[in-house]
Amino acid sequence: MEPTLLLLVRLEGLQRSALAIMVLFMISQPTRAASYSADFVASFISACTPERISYSKTVAHARSLGWAIVDKRSNAELTAVIERSDKGIAEGKAEGYLTGYDMTIMSRMVSGRPLHLVVSLTRSTIFNQVGCYLYDFDAVSPVDRAEVTRALAIEPANVIDTPQIVTAVWGPSPKYKRTLDTYLTFIPSGSPYVEKTGFDGMVLKFSVGAPKETGGE
């Protein structure tokens, strides 16, 4: 075979190999995204739902799953989120309708991503609520909300999908008694909502009405 022809054959072979790798990469992206969406939602459900009516028991349960307590200053966006929350709590106390607030911040690697779990107990003159929030500050695309729909066994009550924010809300789930609304929100980098919330990325959260007899402790 002539050297020029041999070179062309080799180049064709390299091009086919490169194309095959590219195709495999493109095919794997939706699979990986779907897998991460499932893992993200499963992490929330496993940590937040079993002991959902109790703040202390939810924290203890999450720790038994490998979630480790961290300081709010361990992540810049986490710090910004908590500072905004602290400001709202202070205002509520000043106005007289909030009577107390407790919070525990935890972190864990999930599918190679550092996630943050915030469990809270808000006491008020009306009723107490246990809150559970799962953050992925590194997210660059929304989690598939169909995973939340499957987990809650109800359809979302409202969906907003814009370049600035992608969010959905589900009403109380029949699978998890005493839960109130569940929210899944993605805020892209550069969104005006970053300034309001303190972060870009993903959050899945719900709150639970605490029984009067325990107050959510």
In a domain, 200, yes or no: yes
pLDDT digits (tens, 9 = 90+) for 156-179: 999 999 999 999 999 999 999 999
pLDDT digits (tens, 9 = 90+) for 59-76: 999 999 999 999 999 999
Q: How many distinct structural domains can be found in the chain?
A: 1
> 104 lies in which domain range?
3-209
In a domain, 214, yes or no: no
In a domain, 216, yes or no: no
In a domain, 173, yes or no: yes
pLDDT digits (tens, 9 = 90+) for 16-34: 444 433 433 344 444 456 7
Residue among 160, 147, 142, 168 at smallest CA distance from 44: 147
In a domain, 198, yes or no: yes
pLDDT digits (tens, 9 = 90+) for 91-118: 999 999 999 999 999 999 999 999 999 9
Q: How far apart are CA 193 and CA 29, in angstroms?
A: 27
In a domain, 203, yes or no: yes
pTM of the model as a whole = 0.84
In a domain, 8, yes or no: yes
In a domain, 217, yes or no: no
- According to the model, what pLDDT value does residue 160 have? 98
